[in-house]
Amino acid sequence: MRMKHICMAGLVMFAATTIALAGPSGGTVSGKVTYEGTPAKMKPIDMSKEPSCAKMYPTPPVAETVVTGAGNSLGDVVVYVSAGAPDEPAPSSAATFTQKGCRYIPHILALEVNQELKIINEDQTSHNIHPLPKLNREWNKSQPPGTPAISEKYDKAEFIPVKCNVHPWMHGTFAVLKNSHFAVTGDGGAFTLPNLLPGKYTITAWQESYGEQSQEVTITGSETKTISFVFKAKPY
């Protein structure tokens, strides 16, 4: 009789651990970010003061403040879970930020609190990396060509503008976020946030010129909820 109880208890424990170790599951929030109205025309960048970069472009590149695509889509929009998900420890992999052609790649880098940030200079000219946080510490380092990658991290969530003082047209952003549920829209404006456990979430979309918008989404199981963000374009 007791043997039976022990077996049952063992089976229940085995089942419980199997379910617990099943891996990430849950629902997904996906959608598209678009704009309405007429966005400002992005101006071509004059890199004549830095010939080593200017020569890399057959035609001058345009500023990346507003990145538009087919179907009025917006690229480079950070879509993230701003409430409803617990804070997460940083992943062990680094987030990489590259200076190439006197521009930042990616223009918007989303990473997590305390995640290693690796900054690389692939140009033939010196750059200085000067992030301008308000909550985190402000530092400013020179990175000549051929010098090793700079390794840093931020311990507070914040959207941090980044610039190079030597090349005033260079602008980027570090989006330091508290959990791993984020995406940066690409060409076409689409985003997917998977692995959301059942609960009520606030999904926020941030565009560097148009600001932020939020929506509430409830996940009950493993369904996919589709939402969309529409930003009002500014003419300047």
Instruction: Enumerate binding residues for other proteins (CB under 8 A).
Output: 49, 125-126, 128-130, 132, 134, 137-144, 147-148, 150, 165-168
To other proteins, the closest distance from the beta carbon of 113 in angstroms equals 15
Q: Across the strands, what pairs with 68?
A: 74
To other proteins, the closest distance from the beta carbon of 173 in angstroms equals 16
Looking at beta carbons only, is 76 or 123 nearer to other proteins? 123
Q: How are the residues of the chain apportioned to helix, strand and coil, as percentages rounded to the nearest 5?
A: 10, 45, 45
To other proteins, the closest distance from the beta carbon of 12 in angstroms equals 46
Looking at beta carbons only, is 165 or 226 nearer to other proteins? 165
Which residue, among 61, 54, 50, has the nearest Cα to 107 in the 3D structure? 61
Looking at beta carbons only, is 153 or 234 nearer to other proteins? 153
Looking at beta carbons only, is 35 or 104 nearer to other proteins? 104
CA distances from 12 to 2, 5, 17, 114, 204 (A): 15, 11, 9, 38, 40
Cα–Cα distance measured from residue 231 to residue 22, given in angstroms and rounded to the nearest whole number: 39
Q: Are 202 and 84 in contact (CB under 8 A)?
A: yes
To other proteins, the closest distance from the beta carbon of 10 in angstroms equals 49
